[in-house]
């Protein structure tokens, strides 16, 4: 085992700082992971890379970046009950106290303990390094049929989407509108396909993203965002609008489109973080008997079920990764993700870099 490793930090001025730090040793109930794939999230860009915006749960504490890691255990500390060296694992990206009501439901994302709630890559060291310490309770087994790059996107990306889609329900009766075709929007298209959605319509402004959605077959139709979107969606759905809409954009106008382009009795879920929305409750929602859901990340148990479904469906989240970088090129990876001209961007090591 080597003594030192390379790790990436985000000073908050749209740069990446590489440092050499000691390889940590796992404590009680912890494991040391060899990171194989670590993907970049929109929230990393929004809240950390450009500037340190977050407070509370989103406050970046100057730790090693990266909250979407996946790797192989190289050493297990004392007291581990299930996982051991050699196991391939996904990390649920927020480590909670484990004993509050939210943690007991599996939603460590909303752990109420100020002292113990620490997200990887925000308040405790994350995956943009050669190695990382994780708590055993935060681990999900990665099946052999999935790659590490698949696994890196299960917690924050595909997990967040699966949770939202389970809330609104998706099946063959449904036309689905996706506003925002970044990685979360692309994941929505991929999961809606497997859940049997009848028609999938996407909206975005970035040409590269619109093209990826069509090239990967994740949307049946893609619209450039604009004031005619509601009319266009109705034209694509026999004049009715969609039964389900998923906002992955966090954009005011796009959220209003998601609500207005949904037909009577339809469901809408908001996944995109930040921003605002303006709509007229009576005509846009109340009179049409619509329901709007909010959904924040997912739970450890639903992540386990998602992993099982991914294998059953032969669905590989890594398909939406358009660019892979070695760790020493992490700065290029963040800059590309910040440009938006890409699908998912991953920093990889070992077999995942080939």
Task: Identify which of residues 9 and 92 has a Cβ nearer to Zn ion in the complex.
Answer: 92
Is residue 103 a contact residue for Zn ion (CB under 5 A)? yes
Judged by CB under 5 A, the stretch of 40-48, 189-197, 245-253, 321-329 that binds Zn ion is 40-48
Min separation Cβ 81 and Zn ion, Å:
19
Q: Is 262 within 8 Å of 284 (Cβ atoms)?
A: no
Is residue 296 a contact residue for Zn ion (CB under 5 A)? no
| Range 148-187, binding Zn ion (CB under 5 A) | 156
Task: Identify which of residues 97 and 335 has a Cβ nearer to Zn ion in the complex.
Answer: 97
Q: Which residues contact 180 (CB under 8 A, 6 or more apart)?
A: 203, 204, 247, 248, 249, 250, 251, 254, 272
Q: Which residues contact 314 (CB under 8 A, 6 or more apart)?
A: none
Task: Identify which of residues 185 and 241 has a Cβ nearer to Zn ion in the complex.
Answer: 185
Looking at 96, 127, 180, 317, which residue binds Zn ion (CB under 5 A)? 96
Min separation Cβ 279 and Zn ion, Å:
27
Is residue 97 a contact residue for Zn ion (CB under 5 A)? yes
Task: Identify which of residues 43 and 225 has a Cβ nearer to Zn ion in the complex.
Answer: 43
Cα–Cα distance measured from residue 332 to residue 329, given in angstroms and rounded to the nearest whole number: 5
Measured CA to CA in angstroms, residue 343 lies from 47, 52, 302, 333 at distances of 19, 24, 24, 12
Min separation Cβ 175 and Zn ion, Å:
28
Quick one: 218 exposed, middle or buried, by C-beta within 10 A (0-12, 13-18, 19+)?
Answer: buried
Is residue 111 a contact residue for Zn ion (CB under 5 A)? yes
Is residue 241 a contact residue for Zn ion (CB under 5 A)? no
Is residue 100 a contact residue for Zn ion (CB under 5 A)? yes
* Residue least distant from Zn ion (Cβ): 41
Is residue 21 a contact residue for Zn ion (CB under 5 A)? no
Min separation Cβ 188 and Zn ion, Å:
14
CB atoms within 10 A of CB 130: 18
Q: Is 274 within 8 Å of 216 (Cβ atoms)?
A: no
Judged by CB under 5 A, the stretch of 34-42, 207-215, 295-303, 317-325 that binds Zn ion is 34-42
Cα–Cα distance measured from residue 161 to residue 326, given in angstroms and rounded to the nearest whole number: 27
CB < 8 Å & 24+ apart, contacts of 333-337: 333/40, 334/10, 334/16, 334/40, 334/44, 334/45, 334/49, 335/14, 337/40, 337/42, 337/44, 337/45
Judged by CB under 5 A, the stretch of 39-47, 84-92, 166-174, 258-266 that binds Zn ion is 39-47
Size of the site for Zn ion (CB under 5 A): 8
Cα–Cα distance measured from residue 303 to residue 300, given in angstroms and rounded to the nearest whole number: 5
Min separation Cβ 156 and Zn ion, Å:
3
Is residue 110 a contact residue for Zn ion (CB under 5 A)? no
Q: Three-state DSSP class for 41? A: coil
Binding residues vs Zn ion (CB under 5 A): 41, 96-97, 100, 103, 111, 113, 156
């Amino acid at each position: 085992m080597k003594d030192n490793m390379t790790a990436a930090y985000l000073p908050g001025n749209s740069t990446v700082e590489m440092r050499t730090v000691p390889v940590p040793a796992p404590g009680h109930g912890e494991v040391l992971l060899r990171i194989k794939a670590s993907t970049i999230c929109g929230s990393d860009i929004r809240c950390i890379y450009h500037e340190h915006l977050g407070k509370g749960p989103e406050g970046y504490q100057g730790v090693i970046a990266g909250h979407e890691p996946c790797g192989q255990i190289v050493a297990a500390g004392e007291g581990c009950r299930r996982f051991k060296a050699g196991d391939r694992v996904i990390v649920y990206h927020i480590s909670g106290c484990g004993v509050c009501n939210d943690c007991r439901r599996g939603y460590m994302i909303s752990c109420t303990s100020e002292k113990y709630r620490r997200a990887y890559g925000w308040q405790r060291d994350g995956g943009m390094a050669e190695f990382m310490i994780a708590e055993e309770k935060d681990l999900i087994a990665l099946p052999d049929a999935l790659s590490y790059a698949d696994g890196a996107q299960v917690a924050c990306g595909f997990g967040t989407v699966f949770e939202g889609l389970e809330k609104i329900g998706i099946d063959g009766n449904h036309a689905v509108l996706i506003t925002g075709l970044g990685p979360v929007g692309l994941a929505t298209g991929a999961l809606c396909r497997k859940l049997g959605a009848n028609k999938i319509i996407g909206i975005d402004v970035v040409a590269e993203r619109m093209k990826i959605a069509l090239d990967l077959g994740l949307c049946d139709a893609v619209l450039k965002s604009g004031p005619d979107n509601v009319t266009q969606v109705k034209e694509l759905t026999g004049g009715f609008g969609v039964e389900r809409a998923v906002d992955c954009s966090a954009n005011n106008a796009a959220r209003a489109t998601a609500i207005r382009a949904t037909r009577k009795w339809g469901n809408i879920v908001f996944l995109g973080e930040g921003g605002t929305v303006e709509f007229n409750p009576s005509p846009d929602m109340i009179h049409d008997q619509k329901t709007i859901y909010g959904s924040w990340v997912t739970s450890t148990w639903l992540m386990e079920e998602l992993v099982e479904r991914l294998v059953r469906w032969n669905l590989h989240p890594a398909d939406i990764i358009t660019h892979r970088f070695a760790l020493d090129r992490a700065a290029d990876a963040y800059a590309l993700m910040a440009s938006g001209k890409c699908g998912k961007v991953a920093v990889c090591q070992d077999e995942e870099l080939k």
